[in-house]
Each structure stands twice: as structure tokens, then as C-alpha cells.
Structure 1
Amino acid sequence: MARKRKNRTHLKGGVASNPGAAEGVPKSFVIKHGQVGSSLAQLVRDFRKVMEPNTASRLRERARNKLRDFLTMAPALGVTHLLAFTLTDVAPSMRIVRLSAGPTLSFRVERYSLMKDLVNSSRRARSMSTVEYLSSPLLVLASFPPPSPTTPPHLTLLMKTFQSLFPPLAPQSLSLSSARRVVLVHYNAERGTVDVRHYLITVKPYGVSKRIRRVLEGASAKSAPSTATAHATLDLGSEKDVADFLLRRRGEPGPSSDGYESAASSASSAGGDDGDAISLADDYVGRNNKKGQKRAVKLDEVGPRMELRLIKIVEGVPGKEGGVLYHEFVKKSKAEAKAQKADHAAKEKLRLQRRKEQEANVQRKKAALEGDKKGKNAGEDEDDEDQDGENDEDMEADEDVISGGEEDLSGDDADDGEGAWDDEEMISEGEDEDESGSESEEEAPRPPPKKLKTKSKR
């Protein structure tokens, strides 16, 4: 018998413990549509991890699903953004759709790297667990020009679009232990592109050498042997003294002659910089990361990494597009833009008119159908009444036939002398005796009936 699979019915992260916190939080769908390769499909799965926990991480697209299917289903589920990846003849493309009225931003993915690519290329790769994805990442917008009359409007809209993808930051109510990840959106003015990076926040002891940090933090998974006996205890079995491990400089066969580490080696191996050191305002995850401790904050990139180029901004959503607000390659004059706006207004007016006509036709058909049902019911009642009247007439006719037959029978008996009873006819004495004798014979006692023999069961 197959094992019953339990479905997860609880919400993710802090939403399960505080349902009211989900109100006003942006939610997203990250999907792929059309024929895409395995690499782009993996990019979609990686970007869902970036958008955790307020995204459908287990959403499965089917080949017959269209983009309008997700657009129709998203508002009922409270989804505010749709990120759709597809593969074009030029390059991969990504669209960010603000539901349910738009706008729609179309990007060309110039370059991208998957999470596994960054892990394989990094010397200090960090393993990600599910705990890091239970809270939303912190958004950092870098190198975007501030909103002003001289700033191009499409850059301001681009910045606000990325800002609306993630929950707003509230420093007064933010828990320090929930700040685990950072999403960096950097605008490159020289190339005209947007770089998207994903980092993991790490906190390390400050002001101590790397070897002492290893003693305090324990052996890392990378330095430990890749067997089942790997543990967090530092292995010093190859050292004669703990000073051989703590005071030896990199590349030296052993500790210095005086038994102490030099100032140069201490300065070179000391972890952290004054710019990286902070005092923890609250307890943080990790060993000895208590409130008030001085720690060095590092960012480890975990991916994915994308370089996006904004191509077009359109009013509305796919299938109900409006005017083009910005285009990277097509530039129109004011007259052309005005004519295009009037054309879109006329199309929208025609669409609303057709919708009203369709609704009126639906109401008319419903009224006609109800009228037909009422007329059919009334006709059935009239047929029942007619049938009742016909049945009454048939019953009366049958009674007449019966009564008439009785009159005919009485008339035939009167006319026909055979078999008629004559009251004046006299009975002879002999006949009377015979009848009396027969009556006496009938009155004689009869013997009791014999019992039937039945076969007894042996």
C-alpha cells in the first residue's frame, strides 16, 4: 500500500504565526511560458528562491497553459506581480506585470548565472538552508538617479517597479534575526542595464585572526573531511602544540623562534575592517552573536545573477495593452504619440461597447429562456386540464353505454320466451316429491374425509 503523502497547509515564515502581517504584502508568480531550455527553466526556479516566501515556489506550468490563464487566476489568489520568462530568437526575455491594471515592463536578459554556477566558482561557497527563505530579503537600490524634473520618467518607474516587488522595510518593527538576505538592484548608466544580485548576510567575529575564528566558530564543512564522520570540532591531531596552529603564518613550516606571532602577521590575519565592524543591536543567528557584541558583516553572493536591459514599458497587461510609455529602439514624435493615444482610446471605447452589447445579449437570452420555460409549464397545465375533461367525457359515455346495454338486455328478455320465468306455471306433486327426496339425500350425514398419507421424514 502506498504511503499517504501529507500536504503542507500552513503558511510560510512569520505569516503563519501572524496572519495579519500578510495584508498589503506583495505576492508574485514566477513562471515560464513557451518553449524554453533547461537552463532558463532552472533560472526560473532560482529566481523563485529570491522572491521567497511571498511567491508560489511549487508552481508547475503545463505545456497547454497560456499567459492569460495565469492573468485570470492571479487576482483571485491575491497575486500582485507576474514575472514571466520566455525564450525569443534574440535572447531570453523577462516581463514584469503589475496586476491587475499594469503597467508591463519588458526586459531582455543580456547575461545570467545560475546559483549552481556561482557556488562552483566561489572558493567560500555557503550552503543555503530553508531557514534563510522564511523571511523576505532586504532590497537595496543602487545608482538610480533621484526623482526630479530632469530625471527620465522611465527610470523612476523602473525603480518603483523593483521597489514594489518586495515588502516595505519597517526598521521599528524589523527583527534583526530575520534579516538574512539582500537583493541588490544596481543601475549601470554606462551600459544602460540593470544588474540583479542575491546575497546572504554572514556575521563573523571581529579583530581576531582567521585561525582563532576557526577555533571559535568550529570547523567549516568545506575544511572538514567529506565523509559521514565530519563534525564541527577542529582537528589538531597533526599539530604538536596549539601554538603551531594559532601562531604559524601561511606558508611557514612552524611557529616563530620566540613562540609569539609577529605584529605583521597579526595585522595581516586579523579578520574584518573598521568599516565592516558593527555592534549588534540585538541577538543574531550564529554562535556568540549576542546583543552588543562587535562583529564584522559580510555578504556572500549565492545567486542567481542577471543583467537586464529595459526594452519597453506598456500600459495595461498582456492581451489588454494600452499606449507605449517607453521603447528602447523606437522613438516617436509628439504627433505620432498623440495619434497612437487616440487610437488606443478608440479601441478601448469599442471594447467597452462590445462588452455592453454582449452583456445585453446574455440578459436577453436569459429572459427568453425563462419565458420559454414559463410557456412550456403553462402548456403542460392546459394539456392536463384537457386530458381531465376528456377523461370525464369518456367516463360519462361509458356509463351511457352500460345503462343502454341494460335496457337492451331487459327488452330482449321480455321479447324472448325462452329462459323466462313464468309465475303462473304450476309445479306437479311428483316433481315436488322428487325435489324433497333429493333434499333429504343432500341432508344425510357425510363420512369424515380421509386423511392424506404423507411420507414421514426418517
Structure 2
Amino acid sequence: MAKRRTKTRTHKKVSEEELAKIPRSMVIRLGSSIRNHSLTQLVKDFRNVMQPHTAVNLRERKTNKLKDFIVMAGPLGVSDLFIFNQSEETGNISLRIGKMPRGPTLQFKINTYSLMKDVRLILKHPKSVGRDSIEMRNPPLLVLNGFLSKMNELEHHEKLMITVFQNMFPPIQPQSTNVGGIKRVLMLNKDPVTGNIELRHYAINTKLVEETRNIKKLINSHHNPKKNIPNLSKNKDISELVLDPYSVGGVTSDSEVEDDAIVEIKNEENNILKKKNATAPTEDDPMGEQAEEETNTAPSTKKRAIKLTELGPRINMTLVKIEEGLLGSSKTIYHANIEKSDKDIKALEKRHQELQKIKSERRTKQQENVKAKLAKKEAKKARREARKNGEVVEDDKDDESSSESDDDKPEIKPEDYENDSDLYSDVEN
């Protein structure tokens, strides 16, 4: 496929700071024992939903572990991890959303789901959208329905869930965001009775309302190069095309549009007076203000009908638990099925503090050992350099006996001791 052309004079370049603020995601699937082709396709469909700031061509291997993706997420600037997994015992499918780099992690149970190809089958007029289409160039508009509008009335876990959902996509700036660039909608609808969350994905279609059918064809052919210009060979004047409804293909009734779907859009034009069009000062207009008044135009309004076409996939899920850390054996903040008393919560807090204390003590001890070994090695190197220069150094015999064994040992680096994931092999998780 040819490379997309980038404008050099009018294209606005994004700074590195703005690029760093854009949320980037990675959608993966773990578990190689169960061959579920439908779940594999669901992962691919969900990557289309998260476009364009996601790894679309990511390929998982059987040997890949979750730790591998977490390690690679940092250099790539990934802020969200979406992990689909199917249990070997029960066969239930779960979705975990982890915020990089320190959490939290939200775990959902997927009750039902439908793929994009299944959604196309049930629609009368489906819309085929590929991963390279124009709709996928910008992130979708996130719509939360069914969640309480007042944040003070929400519980702590619901506030956290809403915050995670809102930070999946870049925030919309009303002053600078191009409304015409928003081509998709991602709706998350919460059922107030059951608490299930329904995920739907739509494409936004706009349609002119006030113009006639022939004018619409001219406008569409101007904006879309793939549209053909109407055949005007039988017309003698442009008025026949505009006024005569039978000039191009006869009268065909367009689909009726509901009044609620019609909105007015203001088209503000840049009122810039060019120097070459400015008139010279005269007696009636000494400052040349008359030319400026003629060039200024008032903003015009157009009516357009908005229609949503579902793209898929559909996912019905339920929040199970929220963990404090990132995709690991960390403290559980919320659990939908298990309720603990205050005594149990205090015991878990005490146990968690003890584990953190043990972890910090072992880390400091490791750092001290590394520093001592590096200092000892540097001292040995200094003594060897002194002997080469002919200086008298103490403990020559000990250095000569241990020189051969020290050369065979690998070089110790502080980076080798940064990963302490195996420190808790003898501690219960």
C-alpha cells in the first residue's frame, strides 16, 4: 500500500510532549492450551476499536508470558493493556484492563459477545470498515451511559472504573478538535438493575438535508474522488440540473430522516484580507476599509442528519474485582462476590505491610552486596595496575591465587539485581 501523503505547508506537526500524552494500548490474548478461534477473532476486532493508537499487527506466541508484554510496554509508551483469557477449568472468558506502569487492574467477566462479522449479518445495510479505512484514522468518541452524573454519589470502585474508561482515549479539546474527524462512537451502557456493562461500536454517517438530490451528487463528487460526476450531456444549462428533478435519474425517495437526528452546523470562514486584493485609498475611502467589509462574510449554517451504523463487536461484561497493582498478586481493592469484615481487612493490610517490609529489606541488602562486590573488584583492579607499574602491593600472593578464578567470573552489574520477582518464592502470595 502506498504511503499516506503528509502536507508540508498546512499540516500541523505534533510535538513530542503531545505525543507522549496520547494513551496507547496493547490488546493481547494469553493461554495456548485452549484453541478458541472465535476468541482470537474477538481480539482482532477489539484492536480495530482501539485504533489508531494500538498495536494492530501484534502477534502472540505460545512461549510469550505476561511479563514479556509488560517489559516491552515501557519503551513503546503503552499506557493500557487489554488482556483476554479463557479459563482452562471453567471455560469462562475474562478481560483485564491494566494501567501502566503501576496499576490499577480491572478484571471483567465476559458474559456474551458478538464479532464484527456477526453484526454485519443482522444489519439490513451494513457498513464495511477495514483497519485502513478513513474511519480508523482517529480514535472514537467515548460515550458513558447509565453511570451517575454526580461523582459524589458514586462508590469508590465505580469512580475508579469511570476514570479508567475515560483515560483510554485522548481527551477532546472543544477549541481545537476537528468535529469532522470524529467518525466513530464507542458506547458503554451500564444496566442499573444487573450492573452489566454493554459495549457497542458505531460509525457516524452524516447526510445533507436541505439540498436536493442532484446537488447532493455534486457535493459528494467534490468531497469524495471515488464518486462520479453526474452526466450533464443532455442538459443545456446548470439550472436544469438544479431545478429539474428528472434531469439525473428521475425522482427517487431518499430514506426518511427523523427530526431528532437533524443538527445545524456552523461553517465559519477565515476572514483574511489579502494584500493583492486590497484597493488603493480614494477620496471616499481613504483607509481602504470598503474592500475589507466586502471580503468579510458571515458564518453560514447547514443542516445535516446524523445516523449511527453499528460496526461491532458487542461485549456484555461484568466487573469482578479491582487490584491495586499491575496484573499481579497485589492487594485487592474491590471484589464483587467476596465481602470481608473489618477484622479481615485489617489482617490483610497488616500482612501486606509485612510483605512490603520484607521486599524493601531484601532489596536494600541486595544493593549493599552489589556495592561491596563492585568495590572489592575495583580494589583488585587497582592493585593489578599498580603491580604492572612496578609498585609494591600488599597481599600479592592472594591476588595471584585468585586472579585466574576472578577472570572466569562474569562481570557483576547493578542492573542484574533490579528484577526481584523471584524474591517471594518462599513467601505465600
Q: CA 1:363–1:41 in 2, change beyond 3 Å: closer, same or farther?
A: same
Matching residue of 1:143: 146
Structure 2, unpaired ranges of 5+? 232-244, 269-298, 394-429
For residue 74 of structure 1, give the secondary structure of its aligned residue in structure 2. Answer: helix
- Distance across 2 between alignment mates of 1:111 and 1:329: 19
- Count residues with an aligned counterpart: 336
* Cα drift, residue 73 of structure 1: 2.0
Tell whether the 8 Å contact from 1:208 to 1:270 is kept in structure 2 after alignment.
no
Q: Are 1:367 and 2:363 an aligned pair?
A: no
Q: Are 1:346 and 2:342 an aligned pair?
A: no
- Distance across 2 between alignment mates of 1:304 and 1:368: 61
For residue 139 of structure 2, give the secondary structure of its aligned residue in structure 1. Answer: coil
- Distance across 1 between alignment mates of 2:30 and 2:217: 50
AA at the equivalent of 2:194:
R
Q: CA 1:183–1:213 in 2, change beyond 3 Å: closer, same or farther?
A: farther
The one of 364, 377, 384 aligned to 1:356: 364
Q: Are 1:195 and 2:198 an aligned pair?
A: yes
Q: Are 1:163 and 2:166 an aligned pair?
A: yes
Q: Are 1:300 and 2:291 an aligned pair?
A: no
Q: CA 1:15–1:357 in 2, change beyond 3 Å: closer, same or farther?
A: farther
AA at the equivalent of 1:28:
S
Deviation digits for residues 90-120 of structure 1, max 9, x if unmatched? Answer: 4111111111111110111111111122123
For residue 200 of structure 2, give the secondary structure of its aligned residue in structure 1. Answer: strand
For residue 293 of structure 1, give the secondary structure of its aligned residue in structure 2. Answer: strand
Query: What are the equivalent positions in structure 2 for 1:8-407 lying under 5 Å apart?
Result: 17-20=13-16, 21-35=18-32, 37-88=36-87, 89-128=90-129, 129-206=132-209, 242=246, 271-282=256-267, 292-319=301-328, 321-381=329-389
* Cα drift, residue 245 of structure 1: 7.5
* Larger RCO, structure (CA 8 Å, separation 6 or more): 2
* Cα drift, residue 80 of structure 1: 1.3
TM-score, normalisation: structure 2: 0.69
AA at the equivalent of 1:25:
I
Q: CA 1:347–1:291 in 2, change beyond 3 Å: closer, same or farther?
A: farther
Tell whether the 8 Å contact from 1:205 to 1:271 is kept in structure 2 after alignment.
no
Structure 1, unpaired ranges of 5+? 220-229, 236-240, 249-265, 284-289, 386-458
* Cα drift, residue 374 of structure 1: 2.7
Structure 1 vs Structure 2 CA RMSD: 3.6
For residue 275 of structure 1, give the secondary structure of its aligned residue in structure 2. Answer: helix
AA at the equivalent of 1:198:
H
Tell whether the 8 Å contact from 1:196 to 1:305 is kept in structure 2 after alignment.
yes
AA at the equivalent of 2:383:
G
- Distance across 2 between alignment mates of 1:15 and 1:27: 23
Tell whether the 8 Å contact from 2:185 to 2:202 is kept in structure 1 after alignment.
yes
Matching residue of 1:450: none
TM-score, normalisation: structure 1: 0.65
Tell whether the 8 Å contact from 1:212 to 1:246 is kept in structure 2 after alignment.
no
- Distance across 2 between alignment mates of 1:22 and 1:15: 16
Tell whether the 8 Å contact from 2:218 to 2:230 is kept in structure 1 after alignment.
no
Tell whether the 8 Å contact from 1:52 to 1:134 is kept in structure 2 after alignment.
yes
Tell whether the 8 Å contact from 1:181 to 1:199 is kept in structure 2 after alignment.
yes
AA at the equivalent of 2:193:
E
- Distance across 2 between alignment mates of 1:201 and 1:61: 32
* Cα drift, residue 246 of structure 1: 5.4
Tell whether the 8 Å contact from 1:52 to 1:136 is kept in structure 2 after alignment.
yes
AA at the equivalent of 1:325:
I
* Cα drift, residue 243 of structure 1: 10
For residue 189 of structure 1, give the secondary structure of its aligned residue in structure 2. Answer: coil
**Runs (4+) off by over 6 Å:** 5-8, 211-219
- Distance across 2 between alignment mates of 1:31 and 1:164: 19
- Distance across 2 between alignment mates of 1:145 and 1:344: 33
